[in-house]
Amino acid sequence: MSLFNLKNKSILITGSSRGIGKAIARHSALHGAKVIISSRKIDACNETASEINNEIGEEVAFPIACNISDQEQLQNLVTTTIDLLGGIDTLVCNAATNTHMGSMLDMTGEQFDKVMNNNIKSTQTLCNLCIPHMRDKNDGSIIIISSIAAIKGSSILGAYNISKAADVMIVKNIAAEFGHYNIRANSIAPGLIKTDFAKGLWENPDILKSVLTTTPMRRIGEADEIAGVAVMLASKAGSYINGETIVVDGGTTIA
């Protein structure tokens, strides 16, 4: 049996109607998992779930709308997932917000609070909602999609960088506190990936040129390349990886 087999695994993925989250959901399903497709708009969730189900040939993807800034909706997301799938083996916190691109001096307090609330508080809340269930099973994997923004300063993504750095510490804290329950928590730190979320960066010729110049592979990444790491962390292949941040950036941060 493959180390990457996810048969009979239940995976909850936020922000999974498109981009990196969608790629993680699709590849998890292709490896045998049942997946929850979640984002703010139910129509988008339904569309992605249908795409995956049609590709697999059976119902393995289930849509649940959730605004991660709403605590009640987060609770409903977890409760409904457990009711539908019988449990949560892996939580993937992918949904995130960036309200401002530019100098920190020009960022309003409201914009800053929204980034911190959506990217840190909601992630910690969702982890806290899932951990008791995983603790009772004595098994579980938590994956937070961070960014190389967590380890690299930026003149235009200040608050987003701060929030992504917090993701790194959230997984370390979870790993330290709950590792003896066989709960693994890790983050993935992508470089520039060709998604709608990052379009403001890779569609900007100056930014793209700067990234490509400092990236040894001379290209930006694809969502599927992040999904592969997530599948590893959710499967037996990643069963002894805990509290780590795996950088997937084509070498940008080492150049």
Answer whether residue 89 is part of any domain: yes
Answer whether residue 167 is part of any domain: yes
Answer whether residue 210 is part of any domain: no
Mean per-residue pLDDT for 113-137? 97
Coil vs helix vs strand at 189: strand
pLDDT of residue 110: 95
Answer whether residue 34 is part of any domain: yes
pLDDT of residue 195: 83
Q: Which residues contact 151 (CB under 8 A, 6 or more apart)?
A: 165, 168, 189, 245, 247, 253
How many CB atoms are located within 10 Å of the residue 7 CB?
A: 11
- Structure confidence by residue, pLDDT tens digits, 28-59: 999 999 999 999 999 999 999 999 999 999 99
Q: If you search the block for the tokens 């040894």, which residue do you land on?
A: 216
The model's pTM: 0.94
Q: Which CATH number does the domain housing residue 99 bear?
A: 3.40.50.720
Residues identified as active-site: 160
Q: If you search the block for the tokens 């993937």, which residue do you land on?
A: 92
Coil vs helix vs strand at 75: helix
Answer whether residue 255 is part of any domain: no
pLDDT of residue 198: 67
Highest averaged pLDDT of the listed ranges 101-105, 187-191, 204-208: 187-191
Instruction: Let me know: does 97 contact 162? Beta carbons within 8 Å.
Output: no
Instruction: Let me know: does 245 contact 190? Beta carbons within 8 Å.
Output: no
pLDDT at position 74 over 80? yes
- Structure confidence by residue, pLDDT tens digits, 235-248: 999 999 999 999 99
- Domain region containing 98: 10-193+222-249
Q: Across the chain, where does the E strand assignment appear? A: 10-14, 34-38, 61-63, 90-93, 140-145, 183-190, 245-248
Answer whether residue 216 is part of any domain: no
CA distance 221 to 229: 13
Number of independent structural domains in the chain:
1
pLDDT at position 202 over 80? no
What per-residue string of b and e applies to 50-70 under the rule 16 or more CB within 10 Å gives b? ebbbeebeeebbbbbbbbbee
Answer whether residue 236 is part of any domain: yes
Write down the mean pLDDT value for the chain: 94
pLDDT of residue 14: 98
pLDDT at position 161 over 90? yes
